[in-house]
Structure 1
Amino acid sequence: MIRKKSILLLKSQKGDGSGDKYDSLLNSSGFEVRQVKTLVFDFKNIDILREELKNDDNYAGLILSSPRCVHAVYLASEDNKNILHNWKTKYNFVVGETTHKDASEKLNLECEGRESGNAVNLSKLILKKKSLYDKPFLFPHGNLKTDTLNLELGKEGVKMEGVLVYDTIANPNIEKELADATDNFTSISEYVVFFSPSGLRSSINYLRKIPLDLNDVKIIAIGPVTELAIREENYKVYGVSKQPTPEEVLKLILN
């Protein structure tokens, strides 16, 4: 059975444990929202990141590619807020609206890149000012990072120094959570939103237990990389959200 006016969000756990804005916006727009954590995060090497933040003279600025990266910097600076003081005058960049907002609110850092949406777009933005950088960027990242930024920036001689600050792992309770969200694999929401290729891979085999063709539901991808992963599983994509925001997802559903 397909539940009309219902949305299943298959997204990662928020790295900071804060509330979820997708629920509130979509609920207020008349949709039932069910959500399953596909991935969880294990933060690590915060002491190494803290030391690199102290050595701000070595860097042109920060590149923060996700809210988890922001949270790692927050953890590294939690006991010493002054550690970020000198970073405020550097060239700091983020991928997307959510990361920009988190960097502003949690780190008090103003960053460029809120409209970028993905690594390719961000690299283009960074390279517009490449003549101004005489040092590498500090790049906190997760274990599933792609090489897109490093490759695009490296072509133009802009370097990054990476610090692995979190591991992304499949939610160990995903089968139970999916069973709850699908009424023990007997129904599914009209709209299913995948937020990442790794989230897709961790959930798709369980969703196949539902006795209907997943092509009969409206599958939404967050970003072109997730879209490609869905198509590689031979499923149709109803729409692609250019930004990982609830407003963009709602816009796709209502159009």
Structure 2
Amino acid sequence: MLIKNLVLLLKTATEDATDKYVDIFTKNDFKVRLVKTLDFKFRNLNVLSVLLKNPDDFSGLIFSSPRCVEAVHKSLCNERIKEEWRNNSNYVVGEKTYDYVLEKLGLVCKGKETGNASNLAKEIILDVDLLNGKPLLFPHGNLKTGTLEKDLGQKKIGIYNIEVYDTITNLDIEKELIKATENYTKAPEYVVLFSPSGLKSSIEFLRKIPEFLDIKYVAVGPVTEAEILKTEIKLCKTALKPNPEEILKAVESYTL
């Protein structure tokens, strides 16, 4: 049975007391259930710690997700990030990551409106004269796409990559999905997929919902949309930016 106005968010967990995505849908008269699709395992934090002690070797930092911020924060071992990083050119993808950098590290970054790596590259290229020929330090996960290196490399802007976490499937995802759908008997009207990896970890279980193809799907970003459309799901709306307001608009666009 398809439950009207029920939104299922398939995303990573948040450390915040209140999930902003749950909050905005609830305030707009939707019922919301959240299933955690992914977990993260951190590594190379000792190496990252050494790199962070040498801000003069870099023109700035790139944060492409909250996990990158968390890795930096963990590697500092409760110490403050060196003041010299504040004088560098630091960048983020997305508003959530921007807020997290500000909260955890006290760094003001550019790029919070970019939404994806391709748009961030364009922003960084505009600042090429500020980078002093030094590479940008880029702590990232194992699923990095290479977009930044490709686009920035064309403008001779260097990136120093360090892989600091692995993205792994939440081992309890089916249990959580069974609970959210009452053993696949109550299907959400909407499913929001936040990433390609989140889709891959959940698709086999979503197919167990009898109304699987009747659900209205929303992708966060064009890369996630492309992955969804490779499946038997042939219609979805796309939120071009990974923030609660844009995702709400994408869901509501089904009724326009």
Q: TM-score, normalised by structure 1?
A: 0.95
- Report SS of the residue matched to 2:62: strand
**Separation in structure 2 between the aligned mates of residue 91 and residue 62 of structure 1, nearest angstrom:** 7
- Report SS of the residue matched to 1:138: strand
Q: How far apart are 1:254 and its partner, in Å? A: 2.6
- Report SS of the residue matched to 1:123: helix
1:20-46 residue CA offsets vs partner (Å, 9 max, x unmatched)? 111122112111101101101111221
Residue 145 of structure 1: aligned partner: 144
Residue 94 of structure 1: aligned partner: 92
Kindly report which structure 2 residues correspond to 1:78-157, keeping only aligned pairs within 5 A, or say none: 78-81=77-80, 83-133=81-131, 134-157=133-156
> Could you tell me whether the CA contact under 8 Å between 1:221 and 1:237 is conserved in 2?
no
Residue 211 of structure 1: aligned partner: 210
- Report SS of the residue matched to 2:144: coil
Q: How far apart are 1:253 and its partner, in Å? A: 2.3
- Report SS of the residue matched to 1:27: helix
Letter in 2 for 1:228: A
> Could you tell me whether the CA contact under 8 Å between 2:89 and 2:130 is conserved in 1?
no
Q: How far apart are 1:150 and its partner, in Å? A: 0.8
Residue 65 of structure 2: aligned partner: 66
Q: How far apart are 1:130 and its partner, in Å? A: 1.4
Runs of 4+ in 1 over 4 A off after TM superposition: none
Letter in 1 for 2:125: L
Kindly report which structure 2 residues correspond to 1:1-255, keeping only aligned pairs within 5 A, or say none: 1-14=1-14, 16=15, 19-81=18-80, 83-133=81-131, 134-212=133-211, 214-255=212-253
Letter in 2 for 1:127: I
**Separation in structure 2 between the aligned mates of residue 164 and residue 85 of structure 1, nearest angstrom:** 24
**Separation in structure 2 between the aligned mates of residue 237 and residue 100 of structure 1, nearest angstrom:** 31
Q: TM-score, normalised by structure 2?
A: 0.95
With 113-122 and 203-212 compared, the bigger mean Cα shift is at 203-212
Letter in 2 for 1:249: I
Letter in 2 for 1:125: E
**Separation in structure 2 between the aligned mates of residue 17 and residue 6 of structure 1, nearest angstrom:** 22
Q: How far apart are 1:168 and its partner, in Å? A: 0.5
- Report SS of the residue matched to 2:232: coil
- Report SS of the residue matched to 1:192: strand
> Could you tell me whether the CA contact under 8 Å between 2:2 and 2:188 is conserved in 1?
yes
Task: Provide the aligned C-alpha RMSD in A.
Answer: 1.3
- Report SS of the residue matched to 2:167: strand
1:168-209 residue CA offsets vs partner (Å, 9 max, x unmatched)? 100001111111111101221001000011110111111111
1:87-134 residue CA offsets vs partner (Å, 9 max, x unmatched)? 000010000111111111211101000110000000001001213321
The percentage of aligned residue pairs carrying the same residue is 48
Structure 1 residue runs without a partner (length 5+): none
Q: How far apart are 1:210 and its partner, in Å? A: 1.5
Q: How far apart are 1:17 and its partner, in Å? A: 6.2
How many residue pairs align between the two structures? 252
**Separation in structure 1 between the aligned mates of residue 215 and residue 209 of structure 2, nearest angstrom:** 12
